[in-house]
Amino acid sequence: MKVLITGGAGFIGSHLSERLIAEGHSVTVLDDLSTGRTENLAGLSGHNRFRFHEGTILDPALVGTLTDEADMIIHLAAAVGVKLIMEEPSRSILTNVGGTETVLKAALKDLKPVFVASTSEVYGKATKFPFGEDDDLTIGATKNLRWSYACAKTLDEFLALAYVREADLPATVLRFFNTTGPRQTGSYGMVLPNFVQAALEGRPLLVHGTGEQSRCFGHVADAVEAMVRLMATPAARGEVFNVGNDEEVTIRALAEQVVAATGSPSEIRLVPYETVYPAGFEDMARRLPDVSKLERATGFRPRRPLSEIIA
Ligand code: NAD
């Protein structure tokens, strides 16, 4: 297959690119290098089935041309990261809604299969656990500083599913939960790489609030495995899938595990949210995916243990 990956110079996209090339596919990456890096694709440079195109998903002509040349589109490009989104909320809306619509419209022309990256943040302040794909989305109820990101991704889902219903576009929504692994940088608010970096440098690990809030961390290789299987599953078209690991850990325990794994002298310091975020900020207490739909569709369930992910 010829696969177009938007945002392919980023963390998840570069791992997916490598996997698809290794499996014999041709890959074209479209990326504006805003958070992605060409170094992430260094292992593929010069490969005769690989092409990197620097440009933006906000350019309909470019997206149209690259989509015409592809058999399938994996749409990962997005303005991401807490810091970027807090500083430039409108960029999140423009890129994540406008860009996604551009990609969907291009795919619509010849009804090309398209996979749209969403996020666990669309579950907002849901209080029913684990989060299932058919749950109501409560995004508007969260005083979350990533509101622009979460709202934009929710709109992306609605847009993609509207194209499915109204035009038979074979689109699939991938709701990624915290995905981590090599090449993920800590520079824009990712807790695990930030902790590892702090521990390796002997700096304190700053845990926000009580540290009792929990998250689930999936390895990027598991996310890629899930994607590759869904790409080969026609019944996945038109559906939404949680993609994540359901091993839950509190942020305080995560910090402890990082300190133990690195043998670091770093202290773990609890810092009130107000010292990091404006007053009124509400964090999500838990984010736990139900991944049974993914397992039923593909026979695969992300399972790589946290200890291995940290290592
Ligand atoms: P990333 O920042 O490494 O990748 C995003 C890529 O998109 C970057 O390479 C960036 O340069 C590119 N990009 C941004 N704006 C663009 C534009 N206008 N045109 C072209 N390229 C553009 O982040 P990631 O972790 O690899 O995330 C990939 C996708 O998965 C994103 O859509 C993100 O919202 C979603 N996601 C990731 C996680 C996670 O834990 N990593 C969790 C939930 C959702």
Q: Is residue 236 part of a domain?
A: yes
pLDDT band at 163 (very low <50, low <70, confident <90, very high): very high
pLDDT band at 251 (very low <50, low <70, confident <90, very high): very high
Rounded to the nearest whole angstrom, what is the distance from the C-alpha of residue 277 to the centroid of ligand 1? 23
pLDDT at 300 over 90: yes
- CATH number for position 171: 3.40.50.720
Q: What is the pLDDT of residue 186?
A: 60
Query: How far apart (Å, rounded) are the C-alpha atoms in residues 105 and 136?
Result: 26
Q: Is residue 190 part of a domain?
A: no
Q: Is residue 260 part of a domain?
A: no
Query: How far apart (Å, rounded) are the C-alpha atoms in residues 65 and 255?
Result: 46
Average pLDDT of span 221-244: 98
pLDDT band at 284 (very low <50, low <70, confident <90, very high): confident
Q: Is residue 72 part of a domain?
A: yes
Average pLDDT of span 222-242: 98
* Residue 9, CA distances (Å) to 81, 194, 267 in order: 15, 21, 34
Could you please report the per-residue DSSP string of 183-194?
T--STTS-HHHH
Q: How many domains does the chain have?
A: 1
Rounded to the nearest whole angstrom, what is the distance from the C-alpha of residue 11 to the centroid of ligand 1? 7
Contact status, residue 72 vs residue 48, Cβ threshold 8 Å: no
Q: What is the pLDDT of residue 308?
A: 94
Q: Is residue 99 part of a domain?
A: yes
Average pLDDT of span 246-269: 98
Mean of per-residue pLDDT scores for the chain = 93
- Residue pLDDT, tens place only, 173-231: 999 999 999 998 765 568 999 999 999 999 999 999 999 999 999 999 999 999 999 99
- Other Cβ atoms within 10 Å of 310 Cβ, number: 18
- Residue pLDDT, tens place only, 85-102: 777 878 888 899 999 999
- Give the atom of ligand 1 at the shortest distance from the alpha carbon of 57: 19
- Give the atom of ligand 1 at the shortest distance from the alpha carbon of 36: 9
Rounded to the nearest whole angstrom, what is the distance from the C-alpha of residue 76 to the centroid of ligand 1? 5
Q: Is residue 214 part of a domain?
A: no
What number of CA atoms fall less than 13 Å from residue 53's CA on the CB side? 18
* Residue 15, CA distances (Å) to 144, 178, 188, 220 in order: 29, 15, 19, 7
Give the pocket of ligand 1 (CB within 6 Å): 6-7, 9-13, 30-36, 56-58, 76-80, 95, 99, 117, 119, 176, 178-179
Q: Is residue 258 part of a domain?
A: no
- Residue pLDDT, tens place only, 120-145: 989 988 889 999 999 988 776 556 66
273 among known catalytic residues? no
- Residue pLDDT, tens place only, 261-279: 999 999 999 999 888 877 7
Q: Which domain holds residue 172?
A: 2-180+219-244+289-303
Q: Is residue 280 part of a domain?
A: no
Q: Between residues 190 and 110, which one has the greater pLDDT? A: 110
